[in-house]
């Protein structure tokens, strides 16, 4: 079986990029404006007429089409202000991956809002504690802490176990997944554009297709419909970035920041 997952971040009022999520132009490129996001959802609805988005915690389809998961990283305040209401207009629910060290700080969800999203049927997962710039470069002890503590914080807020997470910054490595699995994570989303599902002990590892500002709604619709060409484009771009990360090592983030500017 394969799965399709879309990776969104924040959704903000026109031009108000600082209202939700991490600040800075590097983060802003992932923030969609309200009307654009509404168009993306309409395109997804048209593409998935008989198979609405699913939740990893819910029943999984036993036959094609592949399940589609809508995911939202970082835990910005727009999760409850903008995203959840728009999803719910379609009768859908999403996966919100929360950076627990930011809970209750400006631009991010409060503990009460995390609880409210869960109460409304959305899946709350971990996105680490501190959102390290390069989680794959963390020591084993740091990795264990990032996953264990974030899962505990969310578990305390919600009074239940937290089986889902997403990898911050897309810096996946096997160690990152091993530490997540030891923290109780059973579904880990990466940023690798793939429909393949990998298994690491008790954890399923799923890729995602990233959506950023300026990307036409038709792209989300085409990916949701299972079309190949937008997926191939993302795979080609991903392979290029992977090579750049390998060649540039620690300087990759600095170079990326300069290019974004």
Question: In angstroms, what is the minimal distance from the CB of 130 to Zn ion?
Answer: 11
Question: In angstroms, what is the minimal distance from the CB of 169 to Zn ion?
Answer: 6
Q: Which residues make beta-bridge pairs with 204?
A: 187, 199
Question: In angstroms, what is the minimal distance from the CB of 189 to Zn ion?
Answer: 11
DSSP class of 61: P
CA 104, CA 109: separation in Å to the nearest integer?
6
CB count within 10 Å of CB 113 equals 21
Question: In angstroms, what is the minimal distance from the CB of 87 to Zn ion?
Answer: 19
Q: Which is nearer to Zn ion, 168 or 184 (CB)?
A: 168
Question: In angstroms, what is the minimal distance from the CB of 62 to Zn ion?
Answer: 32
Which of 98, 96, 104, 146 minimizes the C-alpha distance to 122? 96
- When computed from its CA atoms, the radius of gyration of the chain, rounded to whole angstroms, is 17
CA 180, CA 240: separation in Å to the nearest integer?
27
Q: Which is nearer to Zn ion, 168 or 193 (CB)?
A: 168
Q: Which is nearer to Zn ion, 58 or 133 (CB)?
A: 133
Question: In angstroms, what is the minimal distance from the CB of 35 to Zn ion?
Answer: 24
CA 83, CA 40: separation in Å to the nearest integer?
12
Which structure tokens are listed for 63?
């036959």
Alpha helix locations (H) across the chain?
25-28, 34-47, 78, 84-89, 111-119, 140-158, 174-182, 217-224, 229-248, 252-260
Question: In angstroms, what is the minimal distance from the CB of 30 to Zn ion?
Answer: 8
Which structure tokens are listed for 168?
């911050």
Q: Which is nearer to Zn ion, 168 or 210 (CB)?
A: 168
CA 220, CA 6: separation in Å to the nearest integer?
8
Q: Which is nearer to Zn ion, 126 or 220 (CB)?
A: 126
Sign of CA dihedral 164, 166, 25, 105: positive
Binding site for Zn ion (CB under 5 A): 73-74, 168
Q: Which is nearer to Zn ion, 125 or 168 (CB)?
A: 168
**Three-state DSSP class for residue 163:** coil
Q: Which is nearer to Zn ion, 1 or 25 (CB)?
A: 25
């Amino acid at each position: 079986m394969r799965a399709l997952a879309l990776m969104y971040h924040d959704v903000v009022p026109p031009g108000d990029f600082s209202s939700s999520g991490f600040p800075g132009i590097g983060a802003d490129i992932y923030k969609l404006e309200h009307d654009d996001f509404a168009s993306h959802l309409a395109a997804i609805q048209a593409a998935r007429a008989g198979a609405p988005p699913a939740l990893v915690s819910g029943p999984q389809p036993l036959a094609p089409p592949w399940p589609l998961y809508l995911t939202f990283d970082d835990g910005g305040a727009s999760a409850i202000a903008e995203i959840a209401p728009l999803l719910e207009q379609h009768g859908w629910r999403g996966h919100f991956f929360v950076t627990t060290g930011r809970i209750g700080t400006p631009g991010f969800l409060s503990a009460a809002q995390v609880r409210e999203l869960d109460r409304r049927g959305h899946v709350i997962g971990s996105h680490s504690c501190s959102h390290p710039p390069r989680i794959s470069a963390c020591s084993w002890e740091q990795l264990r802490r990032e996953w264990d503590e974030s899962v505990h914080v969310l578990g305390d807020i919600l009074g239940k176990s937290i089986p889902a997470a997403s990898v911050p910054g897309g810096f996946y490595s096997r160690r990152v997944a091993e530490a997540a699995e030891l923290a109780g994570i059973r579904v880990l989303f990466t940023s690798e554009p793939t429909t393949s599902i990998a298994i690491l002990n008790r954890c399923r590892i799923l890729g995602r297709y990233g959506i950023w500002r300026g990307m036409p709604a038709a792209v989300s619709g085409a990916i949701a419909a299972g079309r190949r060409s937008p997926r191939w484009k993302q795979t080609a771009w991903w392979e290029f970035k992977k090579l750049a990360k390998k060649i540039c090592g620690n300087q990759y983030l600095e170079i990326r920041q300069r290019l974004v500017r």
